[in-house]
Amino acid sequence: MKTSPCPPALAGFVLPFGLFLCAESVCSAPPPVPAPFRSDRLLILPRSGGHRPALASLHQRTRVNVLRTFPALQGLEVLEVPPDADVPALVEAYRQSGLVAHAEPDYLVRAVGLPNDPSFTNGTQWALHNTGQQGGLPDADIDAPEAWDLQSRAPNVVVAVIDSGIWRTHEDLAANLWVNPAETPGNGLDDDGNGYVDDVHGVNVTTGTGAIGDSAGHGTHLAGILGAVTDNGKGVAGVAWQVQIMTCRFLNSAGHGSISDAVACIDYARLMGAHVINASWVTTEASTALELAVASAREAGIVFVAGAGNDGQDNDLPLITLPNLALDNVIAVAATDAQDRLWNRSNFGAANVDLAAPGVNIHSTFFIADNNYAAMSGSSQAAAFVSGAAALVRAAYSTATPQEVIDRLLYSTDPVPALRGRCRAGGRLNLRGALDPAPVVVWPQAPVVSAGNRGGPFAPDAQAFLILNRGATPLPWSASVTASWLQLEPASGTVSAGDKQTVSVALSPVAATLPRGEYTERVEFLLQTGDGCVEVPWTLRIYEPAMVRLRSAGPAGSGLQLGLTGQPEATYVAESSTNFSSWRPLITNALPASGDTPSFWSDPATNRQLFFRARVWQTN
Ligand code: CA
Ligand code: CA
Ligand code: CA
């Protein structure tokens, strides 16, 4: 049973079988996000082989100064513009000049989630090991104790936390800070000549120095999740007990920053040898400069972990762009709670969000004092779990490419029903699985349960399985089902070393001819190495159709009328005198009948008719 996120005061319409209509604006309340940018900067990419004197002359005419140039990013320039400048007009002027390949405003980015209020052995850290404390679901965790038997330390792995800084002297962090060996602390000099003075544990790109102190708490919190000093009798346990945490500060105390500074941080992390970047911030605008920076990190073999954002939005819609970067070294993370539910404010996306990780009520290190700890929620926190996991995977498999690290993280997740269709993996991080030394893995292995009315359709009606060959030799395999209501393809093949193969298993047309009942079958994978044989149970539950009537139970003056139907599955029509574009139906009560969350759409011409498809069935 699912509870509605809508407050009771909302004008809604409860239907007999539990369909509930509520205003989108109240269901998830994502305020429309403007597209703000810095008024004092813009970014340009000079045309390769372009006429430098002409560009310099344009800079002079428009009264801009070149603040920073990135040789590794095709010569990308950050320009400082005069206080009275019209930034969009200036961007346009550069685009029209023919001297640049690209020009864009310096868009703002913001931290994913900020503090909302002020340890492993007492069970507070449910995400690492969940036994049902705090009302959670046992085993809705990342299986950390099981994983730590395999790998708990990543002493040679550098994770760059590109965020609000870090509380450097924290009792549970100080020993795990990365140290720049070529920089002498406190002498006011840039000893290693990398452009930053006294950058001993990292850099603050807004000051150009090593002043990485945290004024927001966000970065300190993430650092503790991924790599707090562990087994020291203090504070919290990190995912990685030992790791080198590099800090790049670019977010201010309000959690805000800009693309030009984010790019400088990514460039620094690449230059100084980071293996993993944690980017728990989002931007709403596509940025070529950011893409160039993440692509350069990819060339350097860096895994780029991104929080999916906390707007309750579908990232497959073109709104939040950071996790949408179409580069195979980016892994975008949504947040789940202690009951393995997608957090209601977490963004999601079947294509653009890769997996979920714990992100609600997460205890970790905090700023203000060396012994301060706090709980925070967000996909930022979820991303930090994945960053810590990536560090351990990298430590255990030191020759793994970023793509192999990401494959390990994705194809070891615990399948979670609430995440099906909400992220690529449809599951939540499982650290034990990610570190599993088995050379051959079939994923997922959770039992599949399809259900629906007699005659169909059934949901889910298909499942893709992956056979991953992490070994050094080719893997011949075959797969089979015996019942006629399942079909699969292909049925056999060979997966070369380091590669993977998808096997699609689906209900066959026979399923629609079966009488009411419960049917059980096993999908069998025969592997010539590794586990030998893997069996995945598949259950098909066929119900007798229930009679359904729809009626409006909402307040009268709403203008909403619902079409009536006796069909268990049908397209229903709701008509309104007002605009329907911001309404959506939800199933809130599945008893005594069960049902699907219906798909819905409105009449694009008038927006005054709402169509939705729903299905219910008897459960007894
Ligand atoms: Ca330096
Ligand atoms: Ca120095
Ligand atoms: Ca500790």
State pLDDT tens for residues 525-559.
998 875 588 999 999 988 765 433 333 333 333 33
Predicted pLDDT of residue 255? 85
C-alpha of residue 183 to centroid of ligand 2, in Å:
5
Q: What residue has token string 């699912």?
A: 2
Q: What's the CA gap between 56 and 191, in Å, rounded?
A: 30
Ligand closest to 119 (CA) is 3
C-alpha of residue 189 to centroid of ligand 2, in Å:
4
What's CA 142's distance to the chain center, in Å?
Answer: 15
C-alpha of residue 365 to centroid of ligand 2, in Å:
28
Contact 16, 587 (CB under 8 A): no
Spatial neighbors of 210 by CB under 8 A, at least 6 apart, are 183, 185, 196, 197, 198, 199, 200, 201, 202, 203, 204
Ligand closest to 186 (CA) is 2
- Which burial class, exposed, middle or buried, applies to 412 when counting CB atoms under 10 A from its CB (0-12, 13-18, 19+)? buried
pLDDT in tens, 300-328: 999 999 998 877 777 666 445 666 677 89
Spatial neighbors of 255 by CB under 8 A, at least 6 apart, are 110, 111, 114, 164, 216, 218, 281
Ligand closest to 121 (CA) is 3
Predicted pLDDT of residue 24? 31
pLDDT in tens, 341-388: 898 888 888 888 999 999 998 999 999 899 999 888 889 999 999 999
C-alpha of residue 168 to centroid of ligand 3, in Å:
15
Predicted pLDDT of residue 480? 95
Residue 185 or residue 610, greater confidence = 185
C-alpha of residue 144 to centroid of ligand 3, in Å:
15
One-letter-per-residue 3-state SS of 331-384: EEEEEECCCCCECCCCCECCCCCCEEEECCCEEEECCCCCCCEEEECCHHHHHH
Spatial neighbors of 149 by CB under 8 A, at least 6 apart, are none
Hey, what are 72's tokens? 């590794």
Q: Would the pLDDT of 229 be above 90?
A: yes
- Integer CA distances (angstroms), 249 to 111, 172, 220, 239, 279, in order: 12, 19, 11, 22, 11
Contact 356, 335 (CB under 8 A): yes
C-alpha of residue 223 to centroid of ligand 1, in Å:
22
C-alpha of residue 209 to centroid of ligand 2, in Å:
9
Q: What's the CA gap between 193 and 268, in Å, rounded?
A: 12
C-alpha of residue 196 to centroid of ligand 1, in Å:
4
Q: Catalytic residue among 296, 379, 380, 594, which?
A: 380
In b/e form, how buried is each residue of 512-544, taking b as 16+ CB within 10 angstroms?
Answer: eebeeeeeebebebebeebeeebebebebbbbe
Adjacent-strand bridge partners of 30: none
User: Please, what is the angle between helix 259-271 and helix 288-299, to 10°?
Assistant: 10
> Can 149 be counted among the known catalytic residues?
no
Q: Quick one: average pLDDT of 573-590?
A: 43
Neighbours of 601 (CB within 10 A): 13
Nearest of 427, 397, 385 to residue 225 by alpha carbon? 385
Nearest of 244, 258, 1 to residue 111 by alpha carbon? 258
> Can 496 be counted among the known catalytic residues?
no
Instruction: Give percent of the chain with pLDDT exceeding 70.
Output: 78
Ligand closest to 194 (CA) is 1
Q: Quick one: average pLDDT of 571-578?
A: 48
Spatial neighbors of 96 by CB under 8 A, at least 6 apart, are none
C-alpha of residue 450 to centroid of ligand 2, in Å:
63
Q: What's the CA gap between 379 and 311, in Å, rounded?
A: 10
Predicted pLDDT of residue 599? 43
One-letter-per-residue 3-state SS of 242-254: EEEEEEEECCCCC
In 15-152, DSSP assigns E strands to: 19-23, 37-46, 65-70, 76-80, 100-111
Sign of CA dihedral 450, 455, 457, 461: positive
pLDDT in tens, 263-299: 999 999 999 999 999 999 888 788 999 999 999 999 9
Residue 247 or residue 134, greater confidence = 247
Q: Catalytic residue among 106, 141, 143, 163, which?
A: 163
Q: Catalytic residue among 102, 218, 221, 363, which?
A: 218
Q: Quick one: average pLDDT of 140-166?
A: 92
The pTM (predicted TM-score) of the whole model is 0.78
Adjacent-strand bridge partners of 257: 109
Helix, strand, or coil (residue 73) = helix
Q: Could you give all domains of the chain from N- to C-terminal order, each with its CATH number?
A: 35-108 (3.30.70.80), 153-408 (3.40.50.200), 438-543 (2.60.40.10), 548-616 (no CATH)
Q: Which residues surround ligand 2, an ion (CB under 5 A)?
A: 183-184, 187, 189, 191, 198
> Can 380 be counted among the known catalytic residues?
yes
Mean pLDDT score of the chain:
81
Hey, what are 194's tokens? 């990398």
Which amino acid appears at position 461 of this protein?
A: D
Q: Quick one: average pLDDT of 412-437?
A: 91
Ligand closest to 232 (CA) is 3
Q: What's the CA gap between 424 and 407, in Å, rounded?
A: 11
Q: Would the pLDDT of 582 be above 50?
A: no
